Amino acid sequence: MTHGAATSSAAASPGITPSPTAAIPVYKPADATGPAQNVPLPVKPPLADEFSKAGIEAFARYWYDTLSYAFETGEMSPLESISDPGCIPCARTKAGVAPWHQEGRWTVGGQMIVVGAQSSFEVAPDGTHQVVSSVHQKLISYYRADGTLVESHPETTPAADILIGSYENGKWTAMTVEHLGGSAP
């Protein structure tokens, strides 16, 4: 009896080479040397499309995930797709965030952290519902294309925000999102 190494059929068949596997892009957070790469899109949980107390609370958390994505990438379309075009604080956020990511500039940090989200799920006279969230933003630093640090803002303390949402066609839309007290998040 002989003992030998087993061979695969591909190795035994001349002219057949294994196909290379596509490299899965790896997320690299931004740092002082350059912008984030391969930032994963936030995934909306199915609960965030439910017309329920838990649904609007999940939607509020998802809205902040898309805001974090915007700060990290400058890409506003995920946030815009779930925000009403008439949302003035949303437009102000876009006006500040999107231009910074042009001409090679980038940000480091700035993730939005939702500590809690609570809704009474009572319908307002205009048919909307409200969620009050406790939210803070991680330290954010702004860099020019040449790597120069322009400014940094320290991590904020948790603040109360209110998201006013409208439910139509099986999904929530943020009509406005503001700090309780009146300014944009």
Q: Is there a domain that residue 60 lies in?
A: yes
Written in H, E and C, the secondary structure of 116-149 is EEECCCCCCCCCCEEEEEEEEECCEEEECCCCCE
CATH label of the domain that carries residue 53:
3.10.450.540
Q: Is there a domain that residue 9 lies in?
A: no
The Cα 182–Cα 113 span in angstroms is 20
Q: Is there a domain that residue 30 lies in?
A: no
Q: Is there a domain that residue 58 lies in?
A: yes
- Read off φ and ψ for residue 111, nearest 5 degrees: -60, 140
Q: Is there a domain that residue 81 lies in?
A: yes
- Say if residue 22 is exposed, middle or buried (CB neighbours under 10 Å; 0-12, 13-18, 19+): exposed
Query: What's the N-to-C CA distance of the chain in angstroms?
Result: 76
Q: Is there a domain that residue 138 lies in?
A: yes
Residue range(s) defining the domain that contains residue 113: 42-179
- On whether the CB atoms of residues 138 and 29 are closer than 8 A, the answer is no
pLDDT tens-digit profile, the chain (185 residues)? 444 444 444 444 556 655 666 778 899 999 999 999 999 999 999 999 999 999 999 999 999 999 999 999 999 999 999 999 999 999 999 999 999 999 999 999 999 999 999 999 999 999 999 999 999 999 999 999 999 999 999 999 999 999 999 999 999 999 999 999 765 66
Q: pTM value?
A: 0.85
Q: Is there a domain that residue 13 lies in?
A: no
Q: Is there a domain that residue 22 lies in?
A: no
Show the CA angle centred on residue 56, arms to residues 108 and 169, nearest 5°.
Answer: 110
- On whether the CB atoms of residues 58 and 82 are closer than 8 A, the answer is no
Structural domain count, the chain = 1
